[in-house]
Structure 1
């Protein structure tokens, strides 16, 4: 790999690591090259060498710096991926020859890893349409676990750091005026500037309260692997502490943006919701106000980097690269486009499919990557201090308990709206005062409101709840019949036939709300 940024010849080291004899193998050693590393896949082992390069954003120009970067990579990644990161192994010179490990003069350092199935990274799984709801839920929890372990940095000047990132993105986009029209970049710069100024107090406050942490820093699908059935984060950014000492929602935004650009708005929304839900009693709803900025910066960086790499692509591949870069910029612009806060309430008896509909609607409501989905069944379990799928005794369904659940839903919905984000609340909402109260939350935050009432034959609903498995709802067929015996009072919400498949019901609601059909 030739580059103006290369400062030393590492080819002898690369030849050593690419030689099967070095590893006692008969078969070939596979090699993967990036701008910052050369990776050698040798049987069950992987050896990663930092490239001797100097960029504005990454300086690995000396052996000492590369050794420090290798140590930091091990330190950052071992807690999340102990089965992958095994240690550091030097390349040494003895009697004029290079060796992997052993005594002698150290001429290079490698990160030694256990090899895993290269087709099991989540970008490859996404290409195979394998991102199941269960996998996305596990992914969200894995990211939160990483963030919970991460060191807090309350001293960080988050607004200034993000302003520098924004300035770098704009400067990078301006380097390719043939692809990114100057007036388009100027408009993007203005939008970033306005948002940065408005968010300055919030970003500073989030840093003071521990939301700025030493995060992963490079959290996209290619850096998560499915190992033994669980998503494992690896390859955290190790060469620049400042680039990875960031708001945790800025870290998450890379993953959300990656999913969105792959046409999986539903997956991005689910990961966001599962991440917030896993936070328990203290979800970072205030940070939703900054999510448009975070998404725009992540996509803008990718647009800049993709454009800068065009010169190194084969001519036949450049058109696809240009299209990719433009798609990133378009996503960044969309993230910054004003989108009013909106509250959608979904009501109906148990078994009408409220939660399925709400989850299906969420990605189309409010700013990217869509609305926060609040569910009464999940709130009830949280307030009771049990797991989402744990069954509660009848005593947990008293009138007082239900009043507390609805109050918690309204409080959380208000917090989301206060951040300028969208929210979908699903609960039975059978009483007029419950429906009036949730609509009042929208009015209090100057947000638009849509109420949806789902209805279907009672026996249809009874059959559905009896067929449920691994669901937060504890409703039974008898509960459905009890609900049906109670009057709902005056209903001015949008009434929707909930019979049929979930996709059919979702299509009816989207049409009634004037939402465009989702892209295939």
Structure 2
């Protein structure tokens, strides 16, 4: 078995740095993701992963796992703000989450769509789907598209993020997506901040990497706090 290495210069992250990603490319991407979601498997069991009890469990786990980073990568104010706004949003929108489950918006998704997992040549290839964890793979399609939108905003391309959402809604027909969009962008940014924060407790990570990780995690948590203000 021979595996070809994907050329770095064709990864979307690099192309964004070089300002080579335009609206035409984003339009193609939105269409590909919308069509993938339409065909993606769904069932009663898969739907449960987008239900309010499961979403609440995921958030409680996030808050518990980031307590030790308060004052280090996330400020006490941001932690409190996000926790309060998320809890309040879930209480106010129980019917909306139930409706999205009933409308089969929860599907077997890719689970990790961000610019580092998109290869752009003549065609667009989205690789490295999560196969090892159902909780990451079975989710509301809004959460999946929110990950890429958040990633674009983190890289200071909110223009492309807005266009991505606009085109995705057109191709998918998901008119209520924007009602949960800041919620899921907040979730995706918070998880990124959490995962990067874990590096600070890893003895195999050197000092320089930890300094860089601290800065990056802080930026993700600040972005999550910004999204939370809209909830």
Same fold (TM over 0.5): yes
Question: Residue by residue, what CA displacement relative to the aligned partner does 1:188-216 show, whole Å, maximum 9, x if unpaired?
Answer: 21111001111211111111111110001
Structural mapping, 1:119-130, within 5 Å: 119-130=9-20
Match of 1:266 among 159, 163, 166: 159
Q: Residue 220 of structure 2 aligns with which residue?
A: 328
Q: Residue 244 of structure 1 aligns with which residue?
A: 137
Does structure 1 conserve the Cα–Cα contact (< 8 Å) formed by 2:146 and 2:184? yes
Question: Residue by residue, what CA displacement relative to the aligned partner does 1:296-315 show, whole Å, maximum 9, x if unpaired?
Answer: 00000000001111344321
Deviation at 1:287, TM superposition (A): 2.5
Q: Residue 81 of structure 2 aligns with which residue?
A: 187
Structural mapping, 1:443-462, within 5 Å: none
TM-score normalized by the length of structure 1: 0.42
Match of 2:205 among 291, 297, 313: 313
Structural mapping, 1:49-60, within 5 Å: none
Deviation at 1:119, TM superposition (A): 2.4
Q: Give SS of 2:93's match.
A: helix
Distance 1:338-1:304 versus aligned 2 partners, 3 A rule: same
Does structure 1 conserve the Cα–Cα contact (< 8 Å) formed by 2:112 and 2:129? yes
Deviation at 1:294, TM superposition (A): 0.4
CA RMSD of superposed structures (Å): 1.7
Does structure 1 conserve the Cα–Cα contact (< 8 Å) formed by 2:40 and 2:108? yes
Q: Give SS of 1:285's match.
A: coil
- Equivalent pairs counted in the alignment come to 225
Q: Residue 152 of structure 1 aligns with which residue?
A: 42
Q: Residue 298 of structure 1 aligns with which residue?
A: 188
Larger Rg: 1
State the alpha-carbon separation in 1 of the partners of residues 138 and 230 from structure 2: 28
Structure 1 stretches of at least 4 aligned residues deviating more than 6 Å after TM superposition:
none
State the alpha-carbon separation in 2 of the partners of residues 134 and 181 from structure 1: 39
State the alpha-carbon separation in 1 of the partners of residues 210 and 37 from structure 2: 37
Deviation at 1:263, TM superposition (A): 0.3
Select the structure that is richer in strand: 1
Q: Residue 203 of structure 1 aligns with which residue?
A: 97
Question: Residue by residue, what CA displacement relative to the aligned partner does 1:227-264 show, whole Å, maximum 9, x if unpaired?
Answer: 3x221111111011232111101111110010000000
Does structure 1 conserve the Cα–Cα contact (< 8 Å) formed by 2:10 and 2:119? yes
Residue 224 in structure 1 maps to residue 114 in structure 2:
no
Residue 165 in structure 1 maps to residue 58 in structure 2:
yes
Does structure 2 conserve the Cα–Cα contact (< 8 Å) formed by 1:153 and 1:207? no
Structure of greater relative contact order (alpha carbons < 8 Å, 6+ residues apart): 2
Q: Give SS of 1:306's match.
A: helix
Does structure 2 conserve the Cα–Cα contact (< 8 Å) formed by 1:154 and 1:208? no
Residue 140 in structure 1 maps to residue 30 in structure 2:
yes
Question: Residue by residue, what CA displacement relative to the aligned partner does 1:341-373 show, whole Å, maximum 9, x if unpaired?
Answer: xxxxxxxxxxxxxxxxxxxxxxxxxxxxxxxxx
Q: Give SS of 2:124's match.
A: strand
Deviation at 1:172, TM superposition (A): 2.0
State the alpha-carbon separation in 2 of the partners of residues 174 and 265 from structure 1: 30
Question: Residue by residue, what CA displacement relative to the aligned partner does 1:368-419 show, whole Å, maximum 9, x if unpaired?
Answer: xxxxxxxxxxxxxxxxxxxxxxxxxxxxxxxxxxxxxxxxxxxxxxxxxxxx
Match of 2:127 among 206, 229, 234: 234
TM-score normalized by the length of structure 2: 0.91
Deviation at 1:183, TM superposition (A): 4.4
Residue 277 in structure 1 maps to residue 170 in structure 2:
yes
Does structure 2 conserve the Cα–Cα contact (< 8 Å) formed by 1:174 and 1:182? no
Unmatched segments (≥5 aa) in structure 2: none
Select the structure that is richer in helix: 2
Q: Residue 255 of structure 1 aligns with which residue?
A: 148
State the alpha-carbon separation in 2 of the partners of residues 257 and 184 from structure 1: 18
